[in-house]
Amino acid sequence: MNKLYVIVLSIAMLFIAAPTAMMSAPAQLSNTAKSKLEKVISNADTKVASSLRHQYSTLLKSQEQEQQWDENIKDVHFKNEETLISVRKQIRLIDSAKLSKLESQVKQTKDQYKPLFDSYTALNKQIKAARLIKNKKLNSFLRTQADIMMIAVQLARQDIRTKEELFKTAKDSKAKTLKRLRSNLSDIDPIKVKIKSEKSRMSKTKQRFTSEWKKLNEAIKKSDPKSIMNTLTSLVTTLRQINEQQAKIYAHEKSIQTIVLGVKSQIR
């Protein structure tokens, strides 16, 4: 998997998994609405004007916080996906070189002893043939040769078994390591479910914000200070909820990061 492919895949995952963070943009009053709001504030008494300015300022700050949360979530999510791709690839490659070497040694050892095994098989066939023709002298000679060769055959078989055991042990060790690391990574799944659930709730909260934003524009058009104040208060409260939901999503992403980096640290 080349670097460009990883980057493209990660970006694609980011759009799929974190659409809220990628697509969100702050709601803004038009220049006309801003001018009219300023006029309403200027015409209001001191206490009301102060409250309106404070609440509108709070709204803008809350929007800045929301955008910052978006950026933070996007950043940690992208890094998580990129690291996760790398970690999964590293997991697949654990002990690959070692296993390849051990497997090659098994094959080379079998190939090395093949002529010996072939000779031993041929010799036993000769013994069987000598028995059929009842040639005792030839049979005795061949059996002596077979007894001598059997020692070499047994040693060869033991050498092959030893190398096969080393290969099997290494494979079993890798399988256990992969199972453990992948089990650790599976802890991410329930966290992603929580993120999805939180995003669903936040989506509904944002829909409410959009509706309230329309009410703000209508209140500004009517130059109604009380209605503007009520709407601003409602918008600030809704944004506070959104930011709390963003904070939870960010915390979940950080939990995923801890898991991924924890698994990565175990790969050697």
Region 207-224: mean pLDDT is 93
**pLDDT at residue 18 in the model:** 41
**pLDDT at residue 262 in the model:** 95
- Per-residue b or e along 174-208, where b marks 16 or more CB atoms closer than 10 Å to that residue's CB: beebeeebeeebeebeebeeebeebbeebeebbee
**pLDDT at residue 23 in the model:** 42
Q: Are 217 and 240 in contact (CB under 8 A)?
A: no
Question: Confidence band (pLDDT; 50, 70, 90) for 28?
Answer: confident
- 140-195 residue pLDDT tens: 776 777 788 899 999 999 999 999 999 999 999 999 999 999 999 999 999 999 99
Q: Are 220 and 47 in contact (CB under 8 A)?
A: no
- 118-154 residue pLDDT tens: 998 888 888 777 666 666 666 677 677 778 889 999 9
Enter the pTM of the model.
0.76
List the structure tokens of 251.
């915390």
**What is the identity of the amino acid at 11?**
I
Q: H or E segment at 209?
A: helix 188-221
Looking at the predicted structure, is the pLDDT value of residue 84 above 90?
A: yes
**Percentage of the residues of the chain whose pLDDT score is greater than 90:** 73
List the structure tokens of 139.
């049979």
List the structure tokens of 184.
């650790």
